[in-house]
Chain A
Amino acid sequence: MSTGTPTRTYAPARARRRLGLGRLTVRVLLTVLILIEVLPMIWMFLTSLKSNSDYLNNSSWSLPSHWLWSNYSTAWTTGNIGLYVRNSALAVFPSLLLLLLLGTAAGFALQIMVWKGRNFTLLIFLAGLMVPVQMILLPLFTIYTQAGISGTLWPLILTYTGANLPLTVFMMSTFYRAVPREMFEAATLDGAGILRSFWSISVPMVRNAILTVGLVEFFFIWNDLLVALTFTNNQNLSTIQVGLLNFTGQFGSTQYGPLFAAICINVFGTLLIYLFLNQKIMKGLTGGAVKG
């Protein structure tokens, strides 16, 4: 335990004692923390299996009197959640594809290529990070109406792509910073054109980064409410978030079981992705934040 060669393991052990919290206190704190995170999820799930009268007449802490799985099919078909999920997918995945394609190419051009004005161009993209989406909604509404595409999902795809480009370009060019330029000079000597090196050398090299950025943007776009609410004036185009917000309207009176089933479908969908890719998601989301 010499102070001369600090290792990462011993200091916290001492700090535990020095910060004045006992083992028990930490245990209690942890238990409370886990309950705060998990209980709402469990409650939501159990409530999604209740019938309306069960929900209205029994304590909200009680278990379902019988497990009504049909709430899920009711939400999916009668509640139109199936349609909304399809709309969301049709808007989100084309946007993602466009974003990653444009962002990777732009990141390469801004970070690897050498030309005058690239710092300024990067700055212009970064400026977009500061501006609230509210600033572009109304002109876009006019543009989409004039272009005659307002009854389709195209306004969503275009807006998602444009509004999320700043972050994508920023993150991709950060990742390209770690790729040495010599790589491409060597490829050139071997006779590859620069476009060719971009596609066959650089893209495989930043494959991991593309996945990370893709995940981050997926959550941003999939969870978006503002843009979707602005450009989907007709219910057949509603995304899952807009559909969920207006869910109670589908039945006349609120059907609580299907409502909670719809919330669960929405929540557990994203949770499933998180279950498998959480480390990458955490790294991506926090990495996108530290730009200051």
Chain B
Amino acid sequence: MHRVLGDRRAIAILLGPALLVYSLIMLVPMFWSVGYSFTKGNTIEGFTWHGFGNFSHLWSDPNAHQALWFTLKYAVVVTVGQVAVGYLLALLYVFFLRRASALIRTLVFFPMVLPTVAVGLLFKALFQIAPQYGPINQLLVDVGLHPIDWFSSTGTAFIVLVIMDVWRSMGFYAVLLYAGLVDVPDDILESARLDGASGLRLVRHIVLPLSFPVLMSSLIFSINGTLKVFDSILPLTNGGPGNSTTPLTVLMFNTAFDYGDYGYGSAIALLLTVVCLLVTLVVFRVSRRDLTKG
């Protein structure tokens, strides 16, 4: 029987095309890109050997430092925001809405499927100050406060970015974490209550540790997405003011396609990849250690 399920010709026919496409579009270009990072030039002008020049440039380039710093700052803040708000929503679903929560879950989830470009343009308009006060500034003026030019300073532009990305994905993380919370057994909750645990203490000592695994996979998923942020930035701030909201992805894109420097662009892409791998590894390690402690 295993001869049939182990038929080499059938395996080749079924797996071959996928493996071929994957190799040609992903694997080969991945290594090719590493090769590019040792060169200077682009497709049109040709490439010349540059040794470790791109990497030493990366080491000393203030734009790259700023992009790396922004990427990390953004990833940490948005990840914490998404997962924390998502967790609070999930608690709300499980403990207060129960069966009735299906409709709310579905409603809060929907921004996740919207095109990020459209959401970015929408939020830009919501927070704009010129040519016309957007709804947020209008509201500030109506209650007697000063309007804020959100996109003219780094701090406020960052706030709008975070608000937008939390708005976009909190419903997604809520549903993800809800699945973990529903699995917390009722008898454990009940016996904890009999022992006198209630309110926040119940959440902190019983619910939180029991939903820890799903919380960790949410964190890993979120940080992997936010480190690669691109679609949110372009329509909302386009990296500005100055280059203060430019993450590595956008810097890489501009370097390669605006300045035609594929070598340096590839070096930035490689840095991004390494950062993604490292951060995932660290979160994974930390979560493993905490699990054994708790």
Contacts and interface: CB of A to CB of B under 8 A. Distances in A.
A7 B186 contact: yes
A77 interface: no
A270 B113 CA distance: 7
Contacts of A110: 15
Interface in B122-139: 122-123, 125-126, 131-135, 138-139
B134 A161 contact: no
B193 A14 contact: yes
A33 B104 CA distance: 9
B11 A138 contact: no
Contact of A12 (B96, B167, B179, B276): B96
Given A185-B5, A286-B176, A109 B14 contact: yes
B152 interface: no
B144 interface: no
A56 B131 contact: yes
Interface string A253-280: 0000001100100110011011000110
Interface residues on B, range: 35 or more
Interface string A195-229: 10010000000000000000000010011111001
B187 A6 contact: yes
Interface residues of A, number: 111
B191 interface: yes
Contacts, number: 309
A177 interface: no
Contacts of B108: 33, 37
Interface stretch (B49-57, B153-161, B262-270): B262-270
Interface stretch (B62-70, B73-81, B197-205): B197-205
Contacts of A145: 43
A229 B231 CA distance: 10
Interface in B241-262: 249, 252-253, 256-257, 262
A159 B25 contact: yes
Interface in A17-50: 18-21, 26, 29-30, 33-34, 36-38, 40, 43-44, 47
A26 B132 contact: no
B198 A18 contact: yes
A140 B185 CA distance: 50
Interface in A83-139: 98, 102-103, 105-106, 108-110, 112-115, 121, 124-125, 128, 130-139
A273 to B, nearest CB: 8
Given A18-B193, A184-B5, A195-B10, A225 B117 contact: yes
B115 interface: yes
Contacts of A135: 29-30, 33, 269-270, 272-273
A226 B198 contact: no
Interface of A is mostly: helix
A8 B97 CA distance: 13
A278 B106 contact: yes
Contact of A245 (B22, B29, B179, B235): B235
Contacts of A142: 43
A171 interface: no
Give 6 closest A-B pairs by Cβ, nearest first: A162-B25, A292-B217, A106-B18, A139-B32, A139-B29, A136-B29
Interface of A: 3, 6-16, 18-21, 26, 29-30, 33-34, 36-38, 40, 43-44, 47, 55-56, 59-61, 98, 102-103, 105-106, 108-110, 112-115, 121, 124-125, 128, 130-143, 145, 158-159, 161-163, 165-166, 169, 181, 184-185, 188, 193-195, 198, 219, 222-226, 229-230, 240-241, 244-245, 259-260, 263, 266-267, 270-271, 273-274, 278-279, 281-282, 285-286, 289-292
23 contacts: A12-B95, A102-B18, A105-B13, A106-B15, A114-B2, A130-B280, A131-B276, A132-B249, A135-B270, A136-B26, A136-B30, A145-B43, A162-B26, A165-B21, A169-B22, A194-B5, A195-B14, A223-B113, A230-B257, A267-B115, A267-B122, A271-B114, A289-B176
